[in-house]
Amino acid sequence: MTSYEQLLQVLRDQGHRLTPQRLIVLRVVAEGSQHMGVDEVFRKSQAAYPYMDLATVYRTLRLFKQVGLVTEVAIGDRLHYELTDPGERHHHMVCRGCHGAFNLSPHYLEEFNSTLVNEFGFVPDLDHFAITGVCVNCRSEGGEPSDPIPKEDLTHEDHS
Amino acid sequence: MTSYEQLLQVLRDQGHRLTPQRLIVLRVVAEGSQHMGVDEVFRKSQAAYPYMDLATVYRTLRLFKQVGLVTEVAIGDRLHYELTDPGERHHHMVCRGCHGAFNLSPHYLEEFNSTLVNEFGFVPDLDHFAITGVCVNCRSEGGEPSDPIPKEDLTHEDHS
DNA sequence: ATTGTTAACGCCAATATTTGCAATAACTGG
DNA sequence: CCAGTTATTGCAAATATTGGCGTTAACAAT
């Protein structure tokens, strides 16, 4: 019923078992307002279920990523995870200045996608696409700002 | 004189010191026909200079990547490195079926680049760009082939 | 509800990668 | 060429990530 149930169905459909650990990790990631690092997911999961093992978190996140439940984003040099929103699928532009993550509509990749397919027969993985660079704010300030722009201000921008 | 000298100049210009370790790593990467993993770079460097430390290799590769001397490519789930060729700059399409790395002319990214800059003021890092997907061969064979296509046959394709 | 099959877990060890720090050596200016 | 400054190294410890394996428990079939 809830979209939460739908997510679980994705796992079932692919023959994966619904374990309490997976439910917890899923909830943790789902409730996280922002993308979280592995350690953060682990700590929150452990809070809900003390026996939670770090290896399980790694394995679970890898699985979730495989089936498309979560999206992996490289922030700085660490991987972060966030729930994949099937309705509002988006890509990321990650600023290496402020580490802000801007959303990017899939629309901007469509042409690129068809080009690769048509010219080379290469089908790119575009479920999620992340590209690093420097955002407007960091460009104008010049150099890496010591005072990063709050993620909240940037992350939910979706320029369609 | 040699392009090798030019590479060293890049380091000097940015105020980095020219240590024997760095020269060795640079040579190893330069002489490697294909992109190499950290361990491979380490082993070859160690062969040339027995005191070479693994941490130094990591640090050196990170530095080289920063200054653009080498290019980092994700093959499978490990990072590989290759010398950045300033003349024949190219990007990569990495097949997750056969792990082959196809070259991609920068031309195909120009439009994408200007779009991001114009629309969002976001300047993407396109010195090197790598995208994973499935290549023609692996698509036709269906599923992950157990007999990977030799890298030699694919890697130096440059579809301009 | 009971049982069988086997994926997944928890724990531990292995591997990969990063970091702290004292000693060294690359560059600078004299 | 010599001495001073400080980035870089090597080593070792810390941290991050992955893998092996016996046990547990999810799911399917009875």
Alpha-carbon distance of A57 to A62, in angstroms, equals: 8
Nearest C-alpha in B relative to A127: B133
Between B153 and A5, name the one with better pLDDT: A5
pTM of the model: 0.76
Nearest C-alpha in B relative to A131: B124
Does residue B10 surpass a pLDDT of 70? Answer: yes
In this prediction, residue B22 carries a pLDDT of: 97
In this prediction, residue B86 carries a pLDDT of: 67
Q: Which residues of chain A have pLDDT under 50?
A: 1, 143-160
C-beta separation of B153 from B103 below 8 A: no
Name which of A46-55, B16-25, B55-64, B119-128 the model is least confident about: B119-128
Does residue B153 surpass a pLDDT of 60? Answer: no
Provide the CA B24 to C1' D1 distance, Å, integer.
28
The alpha carbon of residue B131 is apart from the nearest alpha carbon of chain A, in Å, by 7
- Which residues in chain B have their CB less than 8 angstroms from residue A111's CB? 111-112
The alpha carbon of residue A159 is apart from the nearest alpha carbon of chain B, in Å, by 8
Q: Which CA-bearing residue is nearest the C1' of C19? A: B55
Provide the CA A79 to C1' D22 distance, Å, integer.
31
Alpha-carbon distance of A86 to A53, in angstroms, equals: 28
In this prediction, residue B95 carries a pLDDT of: 83
Strands A101-104 and B123-124: unpaired
Q: Considering only CA atoms, which of B71, B74, B124, B108 is closest in space to residue B94?
A: B74
In this prediction, residue B158 carries a pLDDT of: 35
Helix (H, G, I), strand (E, B) or coil at A46: helix
Tokens, residue A1: 């019923």
The average pLDDT across B69-81 equals: 86
